[in-house]
Amino acid sequence: MFWSLSAEDKDAYLTKISQNPPDPDSIVNADFGLNRAPLDDITDNSPGRGFLLRTDYSDEDAWQAFHARLRDAEAELIKCEHESDSEDDDANMADADTEAPSAAHAAASSSTDAEGDSAMDDEDAEDSEDDDDDDDDDQDFEDDHVRVGFPIFYVINAKSPDKRAMLSGISNLAALRLLNDVDVQRAPNPPQGTKRIRPPNRLVDHHGWQEVYFGKSLWIYDAKSNEDQCVRVVSQKGAALYGTATGDSWRARVSHICELLLHMEAGRMTIDFGGMDRWDWAERARNMEEAVRPVT
């Protein structure tokens, strides 16, 4: 295992695979690639730009209120984007050539459109039947995205008792391991005069390396969310500030998270608290303690 290697062996291993990357087929067919994780179907096929994971099921009324606010915020943001797009389209049309198409072109277009509409109707009917079959096969999670259409968040709301038990109260690190893919990167250098953390921890700095995750961003509804209507915003890697950790989180109110996700995704916003370490210390400690346990 990578983290059990010495510092020299870690560097040598990563240098080797960077110069001679493994064949993609060998990765897909490796033992770890063939073992499906419990949420692989969701992570592989879900729409949306981020995962909103429900991990507390003790207050259904609070959850429904939160969920309604989320969808209202999402719908409002999508509406604003559509209105902006429509204004741009109107401006472009005003500048475009207004010459009318020939009668032959119009007839051909009408014929093509009619055929296309008919084919699409047939495909939609088939897709609807397939969707019904899928719904019958899998009742572990609420099929939230069907009602939304084009969600910003894909909401993971377990319905079956075993899935709820699996997700209830899980840590940021456990959620990252379920929903994202893992990688390593160089840890930030400690400031001059500051020693590296002891004992080393892979989420912060282990021989100069840090465990990181990639995939859709992760936002967690927990027991505290029932009261404050906020979620944990989970970091997929430590910030540039030495001592911060992969899996760090802070809380954001439901009314702001759709716009926040889009700004962060576009690179227009970076959360660094002005160079101050203001992430949730309790969650960090929990993650770091879990990180040193054997993965089962």
| Residues 159-204 pLDDT 10s | 999 999 999 999 999 999 999 999 999 999 999 999 999 999 999 9
The pLDDT of 145-164, averaged and rounded, is 80
Q: Which long-range contacts (CB under 8 A, 24 or more apart) does 288-294 make?
A: 288/201, 288/203, 288/204, 288/245, 290/171, 290/173, 290/174, 291/173, 291/201, 291/202, 291/203, 291/211, 292/201, 292/202
Q: What is the pTM of this model?
A: 0.74
For the ranges 121-130, 181-190, 253-262, the lowest mean pLDDT is seen at: 121-130
The pLDDT of 243-268, averaged and rounded, is 93
Query: How far is it, in rounded angstroms, from Cα 30 to Cα 19?
Result: 20
Q: What pLDDT, on a 0 to 100 scale, did the predictor assign at position 150?
A: 62
Q: What is the pLDDT of residues 18-44, one digit of tens each?
A: 777 776 665 555 554 545 667 878 887
For the ranges 123-132, 243-252, 262-271, 287-296, the lowest mean pLDDT is seen at: 123-132
Query: How far is it, in rounded angstroms, from Cα 50 to Cα 153?
Result: 5
Q: What pLDDT, on a 0 to 100 scale, did the predictor assign at position 119?
A: 43
Please provide the average confidence, as pLDDT, over all residues in the chain.
80
